[in-house]
Structure 1
Amino acid sequence: MKAGTYVSPKQVEMTEREIPIPKADEALIKVSYGGICGTDMMIYHGLHPRAEAPLILGHEFSGVVEQVGENQHVKKGDKVAVEPLISCGKCAACRNGQMHVCAKLRYIGIDKDGGFAEYATIPFNRLHVLPESVTEKEAAMLEPLAVAIHTVRRSKLLVGDTVAILGAGPIGLLIGIIAQRAGAGKIFISDVSSMRLQVARKLGLEAIDARDLDIVQVVKEYTNGVGADVVFEVAGSQITANQMIDCIKYQGEIMVVSVYKKPPTIQLAAMHFREISLSTTRCYSPEDFTKAIELLAQNKINLDPLISHILPLEEIKTGFELMENPDQSLKILFQP
């Protein structure tokens, strides 16, 4: 089979692999679509602490069941989405139903071969049979959608709140979509990519070009100097680490979604004087993933504006090169 493989830093190739043989607790999936994530880009740059080459990348993917044992909850021909988190089931977090913050959390596509291939073997308990109304293309974006749902559900966002989102990548835009559905009033989103800001405007968000305008100043003017009720930091830079504190109102809440590659300097004194709350968020719970499927099944969300490219797996190098330029790409899907 064809497989999109991480070979070494800044080197991905389409290689030939044997079709994997599923274990007793696994199904063989014929992959339909797989999306490049920011974490894949970390691996691509050799910055991920666990991913080891050679590795078939891809943890955002969907497919069709090709081979399965008897008496399982999936059957041959089922359209499925893959929930790629693998938890230990034994640590304190897992015992308390919080598997997504498992002390030994692993990912399909990071810690074991993933979905940038024609076929993948997936444990039965990581598969979700899709409703008829959900397409396999949409299902390849369920994972980042679940991240956005988890982020907004963990926040203290209230109906009518003013929101600032720092970063208009796929996760930032999806947070904007979910914040709209949660009843937010005005939603500002900033970025330096003209392409991504254009998508933000189409989604009904107030797009701020960070090359020309300071989102802090824009939000302060809109709120008569008060600031946003909730800030979502999704860019992972020192600039946005400063902006998230300057942008928030007294007793407001900052949600840090980014995984910072370098520890930022945080203005704790400025937070202290205004009693600002800072929360973090990691991936999503099983309930969030289920909610994402439900929203798509009910046609409540249109993900098409976020897809900038659909490429054959043979063009895996092109896909990763495009992702290096935010003005040329947003969500890139491979179709094995």
Structure 2
Amino acid sequence: MINQVYRLVSPRQFEISYKDRSIQSDRVIVRPTNLSICAADQRYYTGTRGEEALSKKLPMALIHEAIGEIVYDPDGEFQPGTKVVMVPNTPIEQDEIVAENYLRSSKFRSSGYDGFMQDYVFLKRDRFVVLPENVNQHVAAFTELITIAMHSITRFERLAHSRRKTFAVWGDGNLGYITSLILKKKFQGCKVISCGKTQYKLDNFSFVDEVYNINEIPENVTFDHAFECVGGIGSQYAINQIIDHISPEGSISILGVSEYPVEINTRMVLEKGITLIGSSRSGYHDFKNTVDFLSENPDVVDYLETLIGSVNEIRCIQDVINAFEKDLSTSWGKTVMEWKI
């Protein structure tokens, strides 16, 4: 069969390419239905990723946050119409120590490898997770972003000490919101503090215990552990502010991505015995844990609906461009594309 792939060929310019794929294989064929735009996709779309990276990775289909419906399973295990969330990380080897999302050999969709902007996606059986029938599809579209927070919390549980009464999260964006929400739900009775710089965004954090503007944090505020969800050059200030307030031997989980090196007050990291935990992307087990978590906690899904910034019907390439341009001017929430092209 001929599969149409919608690739970014240069900033703000998409073209259709055609790939001949055989259905006589072990791959499950999935038709994307709902896609979500990520900041990383925007860096490619706008050309701010850097000329060297663009020259190496384009042309490329964007989007790594998506759900779809199974249209064909050669083994008959899954019925057509079954809703699934697709896993963008694609490992080509296994390691008994290193997780699939940290293996340097793994491929990642929409990062040098075609993403989900295609008519059909051909997946191995460990590259998707079946969704509950009554799932909010617009929330499910950005499941991958939720798995980022879930993965970081899983790593925290394995690496940090056991005093877990108070958490702080720096960042008032989508990832900060999701991380704060999961922490509050997973650690029953814990105190969660959210810190950010934009008041109208912080107003959405109604489920946490305390909210602070980063310029107005009292000196006596302390916590056992923290999660940095800021990214960019702002992560430098966030991490150093966390170091000032965190209790000795606490852990700082770093999730924010920065294009450039940032300076950290290592003297106080040493004096306080702080553990820094880096987290990036996620794998199949994180998707499975996230889908199970959302199935067991429907109230969390209700809160996540707050992150639906806009929903855009896609029937042609111009609709894709319009959605990306709208996303650039959206200051809160996720831009979802209903894939009807």
TM (norm. structure 2) is: 0.83
Q: Tell me: CA distance 1:251–1:326, structure 2 relative to 1, closer, same or farther (3 Å).
A: farther
Cα separation, 2, equivalents of 1:3 and 1:310: 22
The aligned residue for residue 335 of structure 2 is 332
Which consecutive unaligned segments of at least 5 residues does structure 2 have? Answer: none
Cα separation, 1, equivalents of 2:31 and 2:88: 16
The aligned residue for residue 37 of structure 2 is 36
1:36-79 Cα distance to aligned partner (Å, 9 max, x none)? 1232233333427487222111111001112332x254332211
Amino-acid identity (%): 21
SS at match of 2:204: helix
Cα separation, 1, equivalents of 2:240 and 2:226: 12
- Is residue 2:83 matched to residue 1:79? yes
Cα separation, 2, equivalents of 1:205 and 1:277: 24
SS at match of 1:319: helix
Number of residue pairs matched by the alignment: 319
Q: Tell me: CA distance 1:300–1:105, structure 2 relative to 1, closer, same or farther (3 Å).
A: farther
Which consecutive unaligned segments of at least 5 residues does structure 1 have? Answer: none
Cα separation, 2, equivalents of 1:42 and 1:157: 37
Cα separation, 1, equivalents of 2:109 and 2:263: 32
Q: Tell me: CA distance 1:312–1:194, structure 2 relative to 1, closer, same or farther (3 Å).
A: farther
- Where do residues 240-279 of structure 1 align in structure 2 (5 Å cutoff)? 240-279=238-277
1:151-170 Cα distance to aligned partner (Å, 9 max, x none)? 11222376762222111222
Q: Which amino acid aligns with 1:317?
A: I
The aligned residue for residue 7 of structure 1 is 9
Q: Tell me: CA distance 1:157–1:56, structure 2 relative to 1, closer, same or farther (3 Å).
A: farther
Cα separation, 1, equivalents of 2:282 and 2:263: 27
The aligned residue for residue 284 of structure 1 is 282
- Is residue 2:178 matched to residue 1:174? yes
The aligned residue for residue 212 of structure 2 is 208
- Is residue 2:38 matched to residue 1:53? no
- Where do residues 304-319 of structure 1 align in structure 2 (5 Å cutoff)? 304-313=305-314, 314-319=318-323
1:191-229 Cα distance to aligned partner (Å, 9 max, x none)? 33344323223x44633334xx33xx33x43x4xxx221
1:255-312 Cα distance to aligned partner (Å, 9 max, x none)? 1112221100111111111111111112224322111111222225212111111112
Of stretches 281-290 and 263-272 in structure 1, the one that deviates more from structure 2 is 281-290
SS at match of 2:78: coil
Cα separation, 1, equivalents of 2:178 and 2:144: 11
The aligned residue for residue 154 of structure 2 is 153
- Where do residues 285-304 of structure 1 align in structure 2 (5 Å cutoff)? 285-298=283-296, 299-302=298-301, 303-304=304-305
Structure 1 residue 150: deviation in Å? 1.4
The answer on whether the counterparts of 1:22 and 1:121 sit within 8 Å (CA) in structure 2 is: no
The answer on whether the counterparts of 1:193 and 1:326 sit within 8 Å (CA) in structure 2 is: no
The aligned residue for residue 21 of structure 1 is 21
1:122-179 Cα distance to aligned partner (Å, 9 max, x none)? 3332122223233433332221111111111222376762222111222211110111
Q: Tell me: CA distance 1:310–1:133, structure 2 relative to 1, closer, same or farther (3 Å).
A: same
| RMSD (Å) for aligned C-alpha atoms | 2.7
Of stretches 317-326 and 126-135 in structure 1, the one that deviates more from structure 2 is 317-326
